[in-house]
Amino acid sequence: MLKTLCTFVIKRGLSNVGMVCPKTMGVGDNLLHQSIWDSDPELFDLMKEEKRRQRRGLELIASENLTSLSVLQCLSSCLHNKYSEGLPGQRYYAGNEFIDKIELLCQKRSLEAFGLSPEEWGVNVQPYSGSPANLAVYTALCQPHDRIMGLDLPDGGHLTHGFMTATKRISATSIFFESFPYKVDPVSGLIDYDKLQQNARLFKPKIIIAGISCYSRCLDYERFRKIADENGAYLFSDMAHVSGLVAAGVIPSPFKYSDVVSTTTHKTLRGPRAGVIFFRKGVKSIGKDGKPIMYDLETRINNAVFPSLQGGPHNHAIAGIATAMKQAATPQFKQYQQQVVANAKRLCVGLQGLGYQIATGGTDVHQLLVNLKPCGLSGAKAEFILEEISVVCNKNTVPGDTSPQNPSGIRLGTPALTTRGFKEAEIDKVVSFIHSAVNIALEAQKISGPKLVDFKKVVTTDPTITGSVKALRKEVELFAEQFPIPGYPDY
């Protein structure tokens, strides 16, 4: 009888087998053993819709990727259940024997993925994501109102590098610290290192940030180091966007020249949504008395993450980082990153061949910035029309823009499409989709005039325009569905 009451669930291609036995269940325990499709079909339907959107669309957001089944399995594991404030061996809760081993394994693999010696580098794998990781770095290295310098947001920098406007301090980094941006050359679109050097001599920052959010060229870390040394500043490299390319060795590494390096793990690294901070250890320099001066970053970074800014770490995410770092050390991962860059270059050349203007004139990495000013189209309109045909990107400022809310460009990236198996031939097809969508947008704009709200109305109501949009969307979705996405089969 007991055998007939116990239910074994093997459903929808999932690898786990769940056993529900009423004899051992307490009050309400049936809720704990139900699948999401049985307990909450309304939510599960939305999850399936999102999976369908991802499968039928073309994801060109440079900061997004499609992670592996093994990472997803970590994120849905029992590791989520455990509280473990503190570091391995120094927890504030009992029961962390295996959690400690997982975090130590993650630290070891993180160093190995980037070819780092544990005598020279340490790593904290607990930051919840990239922005908290960056704030932890500033908290560790600075006092309130100390000075920082990062690439300006309209020029390709990130919010967490100190962005502010003339009337408002936007980012917490500009609220708690005094920030002064460095810029790109308005003609070439390249970072003006000479101007950065001049301004750093005047501003005397505590930290110089070598990092980007939308800049398609490799950074000159050696030049950054020289400018930092000249001003007694820390060099903090935020490689969130390019860490996968760095791990694969397809672009220069920041580690040789940096004091601290942060990264997210969900972009080119193709792991879970989390952050990691690397910090220097060992001898920093030799004093005038001939004695070594040691780095003191380990305790400062670790204390900034916890207890200064965070509580218990997300152990399921740390496990996901560990398996992602293992993948990052494989030959297959290097081949993947080489293809990511090859695809970005092909996308760039294809658009340039159709007359589109690309900031910096090209790309060395996984992304490019298309300046639509010469086309007479705004970034917001381009983003909207592309989403209408199931091509997803983001509007973005180009050098010279004054408002992030009304930018002139779109940012395009190739990590997610490359994960799905796209190579140069498929990228050529993507170029044609983008160009067709822009042409539809220009026709719609002739009817709507300049306002975005009127443009959206025309795109969604004008019979001729909607007909063109629907036909192109169908073509895009039929094309996209040929390429699988990793993860669970049903969601």
Active-site residue numbers? 214, 266
At 132, list the tokens.
């908290």
Neighbours of 188 (CB within 10 A): 13
Peptide bond between residue 307 and the one before it cis (omega within 30 degrees of 0): yes
Report the distance separating Cα 429 and Cα 438, nearest Å. 15
Which residues, 6+ apart, have CB-to-CB distance to 35 below 8 Å?
9, 11, 18
Given a contact cutoff of 8 angstroms between Cβ atoms, the answer to whether 235 and 210 are in contact is: yes
Q: Which of 280, 247, 300, 25 is nearest to 137 (CA)?
A: 300
Q: For the chain, what percentages of helix, strand and coil (3-state, to nearest 5) are there?
A: 50, 15, 40
- C-alpha distances out from residue 253 to 137, 237, 333, Å: 19, 10, 16
Neighbours of 313 (CB within 10 A): 24
Neighbours of 257 (CB within 10 A): 21
Single-letter residue type at 166: A
